[in-house]
A and B are shown apart, each in its own frame.
Chain A
């Protein structure tokens, strides 16, 4: 692989573009595939197969050929509501995973740069903050404030936009009350039951990093169920 190709791949990755790397295993020539972009002569004959791998988000060698295709997908958008202690560890864990974290917290003293270096924190109420984040059914929400004023509007946004993962921190009792409020706001049982509450898989841990790990574990598990 040429160093220039590698540079281009990293540029595409950081700009969150979806693409594939295609390599001719016979001679080591590789190039970047993007939908709608024309391919060099070397790969033109395999276009149909490459497009198929790309649409299935699949990696592998095209049958009866020496062409290897590796697909890169956009990182999954995870919105964390509450710039709390647990969120600091979630950010740490997410660094080595394909998650793109955004943090929302209207409380300035939590959402400080000193607590979250190099992180973009939206210091607004959820209704305003979500105008700055493009979300869809491939997005996830982790609600951590257990303050209804902050969590509830975020949960409503996530339910209305059909996030594939929605989790909310809080005891069973807190969650029951939360479900009741959502019911009163007009959400149906199926929607309310889709919320993971209390959030996280049962690890037994009680410390902030342990809870963060249990949340990230649940998020990964739900991501692979998609």
Chain B
């Protein structure tokens, strides 16, 4: 069995979007090496920065929220972002586990 267990993020995205919030879905579309969440893992983010779900173990979520808010502000339909291994001493956003992930952001409209 390969598919992940259901996390109901799409239900939340639907509820938020149906209550006239501007909503972005962030989905893990590719992973390389050791990454905390598998392909298909999701987060939903609104214009205020409220979010639900996850695309990593907490390593890149804050950056994803910022990117999502920007996407709403610029009113772009979609965008692909990538995160690579972090340099811990520099406090940059990245994955401490040494993996790389590609995340796809898309507005619900």
Interface residues of A (CB under 8 A from B): 1-3, 6-7, 9-10, 13, 23, 25, 27-28, 30, 56-61, 68, 70-73, 75-76, 96-98, 223-224, 226
Contact = CB atoms under 8 A, between A and B. Distances in A.
A62 to B, nearest CB: 11
Interface string B25-52: 1010110000000111000000000000
Given A3-B18, A60-B39, A70-B40, A28 B77 contact: yes
Interface residues of B, number: 29
A156 B13 CA distance: 43
B78 A6 contact: no
Contacts of B29: 25, 60-61, 68
Contacts of B91: none
Given A10-B10, A28-B106, A97 B5 contact: yes
B109 A3 contact: yes
A25 B80 contact: yes
B3 A73 contact: yes
B11 interface: yes
B14 A59 contact: no
Contacts of A30: 106
A223 B1 contact: yes
Contact of B78 (A2, A27, A56, A96): A27
Given A10-B11, A23-B104, A60 B30 contact: yes
Interface centre among B29, B30, B80, B107 (most CB of A within 10 A): B29
Nearest to A9: B10
Interface centre among A1, A2, A23, A75 (most CB of B within 10 A): A1
A1 B39 contact: no
B57 to A, nearest CB: 18
Interface SS of chain B: mixed
B18 to A, nearest CB: 7
Given A28-B78, A59-B40, 20 more contacts: A1-B108, A10-B14, A13-B10, A23-B104, A25-B29, A25-B78, A25-B80, A30-B106, A57-B2, A59-B4, A61-B30, A68-B29, A68-B104, A70-B27, A73-B3, A75-B6, A97-B5, A97-B6, A98-B5, A224-B1
A9 B6 CA distance: 13
A57 B3 contact: yes
Nearest to A24: B78
Contacts of A23: 104, 106
